Structure 1
Amino acid sequence: MTNAAFERLLSAADYGNAHAAFARQLNHAGRDQGTWRYDAASVYWWLRGRRPHEHVQAAMVETLARKLGRSVAVTELGFGAVDNVGMCIYPASVDGATDTAEHAWTRLAKHINQHASEGFDSGKALQAALGWRYDLPDETVSRNGRQQVTSTDVQSLYTLADHFTDLDRRHGSGSPHTRTVMAELLVRQVIPMLRGTYTDAVGRDLMRAAATLSGQLAFMSYDAGEHATAQHHATLGLRLVKAADDRLYGAHLLANLATQAVFLGHSREAARLIEAAIDGAGRAPAAVLARLHSTAATAYGQSGERRACQLALTRAERALDQTGKDPGPRWVSYFSPAHLAGAAIRCLSDLCLHKQALRHVPDALNLGSQNVRTRALHTALIAMAHARAGDTDAACNWAVKLGQHAAGIQSTRVRQRVDELAASLGPQRESPQVNEALHTLAAMPAAN
């Protein structure tokens, strides 16, 4: 179906048979938005019903108004209202994912947070899982654009992702500055590459690298408490990795969405997300399966499904024992016995199996020096497990250790666990030891 309103405006502005000229003027009008590379084909698809994002529509209005000599309202374009909530919708095509990425990263780079008042949408997360799992694969992702993209160019993006991952693990993601810098780099470096020229093989690796970066930005946003933004970037990462035809990393991103759902208390939806991830991963390397089953355990534990939780823990432990023979992709190398132990403490505590949970304490703290935030999170889990078990003295001792481990970390997740521990100890504040622990927790800096 043709967008008749847009077609009439183009004709009135003498762009009816000059779509390439309109695209050039549009690129000029949007030069401060990043590296736009719209062409006649873009105009064709807009006329056939594809809706550009709001910042593109604003540039269209500016371009048409200048040519027509009058003001043009956005509503005259015929695209309808831009659905901000729809930003968490799984893009239908690779081009749609590129457009979505440019829009999302540009807004983040410019400190425009359209998701500030929104939360995690479990329905859209499940829709994204279905799209990733069951949509037909992209036959090809090769493209002809202005910039030639090589395998070496793509490798530089993995290096960039490693840098931000390390920053995140050491310092947390509470500072919006880090995410802004990352978004600016994505707009300047990744978008021109996505719109460039590449073969199918290079293109799929490029999509995987872009998915890695989008997934890292999603996790950082989740750690900062910006849950709609996190979900948006995770969904975008799922579509990009679908184009890369990398089912293992797709399962990892879906597991991250499940982890976010568990954090927010959506345990049943989290279970469905992680089940889709495990199903989609298929005969995956042991390290990947260990990570996926540990996430499943946390979802089942929170929802009170004791048998399913313990079965998932057993599967994760067995898989982790096999990682020496089957280490899996490089990105899963972070997952260690300590990460599994942290998941076990959480899910067993949720099931009120406190003694079983506390057996995992030594392993949970056997972390590398780079895992600063994870150490703080695990320390908080241990303190809470002791508090739930009724051992106030031990809970207070671990609360003091938490104050030491969490110093300098900016993380909403750490802050929330600190607050939960303080609330648990609060009724016994008349005890000198509890009072000291509460003072230690209160002295910790806020996440932002």
Structure 2
Amino acid sequence: MARPVTNAAFEALLHAAGYGNAHAAFARQLNHAGRNYGTWRYDAASVYWWLRGRRPAEHVQATMAETLARKLGRSVAVLELGFGAGEGTGTSIYPASAGQAIDAAERLWTTLAKHIRPPVSGTFDSGKALQAALGWRYDLPDKTVSRNGRQPVTTGDIQSLYALADHFTDLDRRHGGGSPHTRALMADFLVRQVALMLRGNYTDVVGRDLLRAAATLSGQLAFMSYDAGDHATAQHHTTVALRLAKAADDRLHGAHLLANLAAQAVHLGHARDAARLAEAAIDGAGRAPAAVLARLYTTAATAYGQSGERRACQVALAKAERALDRTGLSVGPRWVNYFGPAHLAGAALRCLGDLHLYTQALRHAPDAITLSSQNARTRALHTALIATIHARAGDTDAACDWGRKLARHAVGVHSARVEQRVRELTAMLSPQQALPQVSEVLYALSTVPAAT
């Protein structure tokens, strides 16, 4: 006896599209439409079980909606299919296994690549970030990550992924993460190439390197989303990247990703939770290279500064400075090569400014802008910070001088973080807009491009 249909919404769409009595035909169209994901082998039996409550993955649902839309001649939203929101969609749950991390990564990448609105929207969730930190730090390591898929994966294939990660990182630093087109392009590559590789054929050794590369790419996509002000998406991608790094047995990269979550928490004002995340990153990194420790202690300092913990902030800054002085003695991972004196100086500006130690903070201004040409966004961020601290200290002339520089440095940079700092400076200067120099600067700042 056939089981009763439980998904009436999906059944109605099939009937409306002419597939009510042609489930095999719908499955064939779905397989053809989903060829970018590999070889799908859905059939009439698959449709039978979908009608009776079985829930396909999000990227399969997205392709179902596209297939039905072509037949119906109208757009079909994923929610119309009647499957509901699955666990881990629109949330930042730390995946329990490497396999679940791969599934979650593919869902997230597909959502961003196809501009699909997530079934559940949201903002940064500090509680889930702390849960992810606990899972990363204390869960047992994965015994093996080898896989017997169809596509063989080699070390040479993985090296090309690192080269691509470097390319997108450079784009992000030069132009900001605010362009949705760049993020969608990167997500599309992850769906079409990296997801297929993750489901391919590889040994444990090759698999861990592949997962490390996937974590690097997903982490970069997360950082671009954070810079664009898309905080829920950023947290989702960072959480999945953290689990991929765990499966890769790369504790240093995991600590780096956790520090990124801490930086995002600082940006959103969750100072105490940010401090806990930074402390977990430092603890999990262990005996790390000096450059990694410098980066982690710098993040901790910004969290302590925002929460008003002067002593802890100054201790963390001192540790970061000592670690940075030792960077020539050890070689760090490739992803930490960006971190140098200018980044530490920018963090010192911020946290000492938060502590109202303006004179001490501004001593770091010269170092904070000593950046290479590709770091356009960081230069704009640091310039805005220097201008704002001058304004807080009551030096309007200096604030205007730096405000003019900010208007120049922000050209071509699409970043919600830069945009926010421009707003902060504008708010500080606006009460004095009757002054000619202030009026001039406010006009120049009004032309700074929006993040998207």
Task: Give TM-score, length-normalised by structure 2.
Answer: 0.86
Give 2:155's aligned residue: 151
Q: List gaps (5 residues or longer) in structure 1.
A: 8-21, 64-73
- 1:208 maps onto 2:212 in alignment: yes
Distance 1:339 1:213, change over 3 A: same
Give 1:235's aligned residue: 239
Q: How does 1:25-36 map to 2 (within 5 A)?
A: 29=30, 31-33=32-34, 34-36=36-38
Q: Give me the whole-angstrom Cα distance separating, in 2, the residues matched to 1:352 and 1:394.
A: 17
- Is the 2:259–2:277 contact (alpha carbons within 8 Å) kept by the matching residues of 1? yes
Letter of the aligned partner of 2:253 in structure 1? Y
Q: Give me the whole-angstrom Cα distance separating, in 2, the residues matched to 1:438 and 1:428.
A: 10
Deviation at 1:85, TM superposition (A): 5.7
Deviation at 1:327, TM superposition (A): 3.0
Distance 1:78 1:228, change over 3 A: closer
- Give the superposed CA RMSD: 3.0
- 1:389 maps onto 2:393 in alignment: yes
Deviation at 1:32, TM superposition (A): 3.4
The structure 1 residue matched to 2:227, chosen from 223, 230, 254, is 223
2:37 alignment partner, SS class: coil
Letter of the aligned partner of 1:108 in structure 2? L
Letter of the aligned partner of 2:314 in structure 1? Q
Letter of the aligned partner of 1:35 in structure 2? Y
The structure 2 residue matched to 1:182, chosen from 178, 186, 190, is 186
- 1:123 maps onto 2:124 in alignment: no
The structure 2 residue matched to 1:166, chosen from 166, 170, 179, is 170
- Is the 2:31–2:41 contact (alpha carbons within 8 Å) kept by the matching residues of 1? no
- 1:285 maps onto 2:286 in alignment: no
Distance 1:237 1:84, change over 3 A: closer
- Is the 1:115–1:229 contact (alpha carbons within 8 Å) kept by the matching residues of 2? no
- Is the 1:116–1:226 contact (alpha carbons within 8 Å) kept by the matching residues of 2? no
The structure 2 residue matched to 1:343, chosen from 342, 347, 364, is 347
- Is the 1:97–1:236 contact (alpha carbons within 8 Å) kept by the matching residues of 2? yes
1:370 alignment partner, SS class: coil
Q: List gaps (5 residues or longer) in structure 2.
A: 7-22, 68-77
Distance 1:278 1:437, change over 3 A: same
The structure 2 residue matched to 1:410, chosen from 414, 431, 434, is 414
Distance 1:309 1:396, change over 3 A: same
* Per-residue Cα deviation, 1:103-162 (whole angstroms, up to 9, x for no partner): 111111111132795211111111111111111100000010110000000000000100
Letter of the aligned partner of 1:191 in structure 2? A
1:185 alignment partner, SS class: helix
- Is the 1:27–1:38 contact (alpha carbons within 8 Å) kept by the matching residues of 2? no
Q: Give me the whole-angstrom Cα distance separating, in 2, the residues matched to 1:112 and 1:131.
A: 29
Q: Identity across aligned pairs (percent)?
A: 71
Letter of the aligned partner of 1:269 in structure 2? D
Give 1:68's aligned residue: none
Give 2:429's aligned residue: 425
Give 1:447's aligned residue: 451
- Is the 2:176–2:413 contact (alpha carbons within 8 Å) kept by the matching residues of 1? yes
Give 2:16's aligned residue: none
Give 1:330's aligned residue: 334
Deviation at 1:81, TM superposition (A): 4.5
The structure 2 residue matched to 1:271, chosen from 275, 291, 295, is 275
- Is the 1:115–1:228 contact (alpha carbons within 8 Å) kept by the matching residues of 2? no
Deviation at 1:408, TM superposition (A): 1.0
Q: Give me the whole-angstrom Cα distance separating, in 2, the residues matched to 1:114 and 1:429.
A: 42
The structure 1 residue matched to 2:369, chosen from 365, 372, 376, is 365
Q: Give me the whole-angstrom Cα distance separating, in 1, the residues matched to 2:66 and 2:400.
A: 61
Deviation at 1:100, TM superposition (A): 1.1
The structure 2 residue matched to 1:299, chosen from 300, 303, 320, is 303
Give 2:19's aligned residue: none
* Per-residue Cα deviation, 1:383-417 (whole angstroms, up to 9, x for no partner): 01101111111001000000011111111110110
When the two structures are aligned, how many residues end up with a matched partner? 417
- 1:258 maps onto 2:259 in alignment: no
Distance 1:167 1:229, change over 3 A: same
Q: Give me the whole-angstrom Cα distance separating, in 2, the residues matched to 1:253 and 1:190.
A: 19
Runs (4 or more) in structure 1 with deviation over 4 Å come to 4-7, 25-28, 36-40, 49-52, 57-63, 77-81, 83-86
Q: Give me the whole-angstrom Cα distance separating, in 2, the residues matched to 1:371 and 1:81.
A: 39
Deviation at 1:440, TM superposition (A): 0.9
Distance 1:248 1:37, change over 3 A: farther
- Is the 1:30–1:36 contact (alpha carbons within 8 Å) kept by the matching residues of 2? no
Deviation at 1:59, TM superposition (A): 7.1
Q: Give me the whole-angstrom Cα distance separating, in 2, the residues matched to 1:218 and 1:266.
A: 18
* Per-residue Cα deviation, 1:255-280 (whole angstroms, up to 9, x for no partner): 00110110011111111111110010
- 1:108 maps onto 2:108 in alignment: no
- Is the 1:327–1:333 contact (alpha carbons within 8 Å) kept by the matching residues of 2? no
Q: Give me the whole-angstrom Cα distance separating, in 2, the residues matched to 1:319 and 1:221.
A: 29
